[in-house]
Structure 1
Amino acid sequence: MNLPFPDSSPADPQCSAKGCRADAEWVLAWNNPKLHTPERRKTWLACEEHREHLSQFLGVRGFLKDVVLLAEWESGEADG
């Protein structure tokens, strides 16, 4: 029996905060210097409500490198 595959188109980006399903507005670029090369950037997405909390979480650990509007990140304007 052939089952249909779910739609493979990407969903709207959602906030990375636990339990939050709000649309993402911000990209928090970070890296863990113990694990990643200096130029490597991992990303979390954040809604307006959770941007500061997630930024502080990464910041106190020394991981946060940049906070950029999602639209700028996607358009490549964030490339310093």
Structure 2
Amino acid sequence: MEPEIEPICSAKGCRQPAVHEIRWNNPRIHPPERRKVWLACEDHRESLADFLDRRGFLREVAPFR
């Protein structure tokens, strides 16, 4: 049996557990229904979402399941 891997934040250098899903797509290359996901800890949720929102890529932020 493989050990369970703890999902971690997608922010560069962060090793904190993920508590949010930041769902996004690039409308120039992805169909509208496609969602890519970055994981975020509480400390990086806002900065990661802001980065994507400034580029028009942010679609939604949801609790990590």
Q: TM-score, normalised by structure 1?
A: 0.77
Structure 2 residue ranges without an equivalent (≥5): none
Calculate the aligned-residue CA RMSD, in Å: 1.2
Greater strand percent: which structure?
A: 2
Identical counterparts, % of pairs? 54
Partner SS state of residue 43, structure 1: strand
What do the CA deviations read for 1:12-69 (whole angstroms, capped 9, x no partner)?
1100000000000000000001110000000000000000000000000000000000
User: Could you say which residue in structure 2 is the equivalent of 1:20?
Assistant: 14
Q: Which residue of 1 aligns with 2:27?
A: 33
Matched residue pairs, number? 65
Per the TM alignment, residue 8 of structure 1 is displaced from its structure 2 partner at its CA by: 3.9
Q: Higher helix share goes to which structure?
A: 1
Query: In the alignment, what sits opposite 1:53?
Result: 47
Runs (4+) off by over 6 Å? none
Is the radius of gyration larger for structure 1 or structure 2? 1
| Equivalent position amino acid for 1:50 in 2 | H
SS at match of 2:52: helix
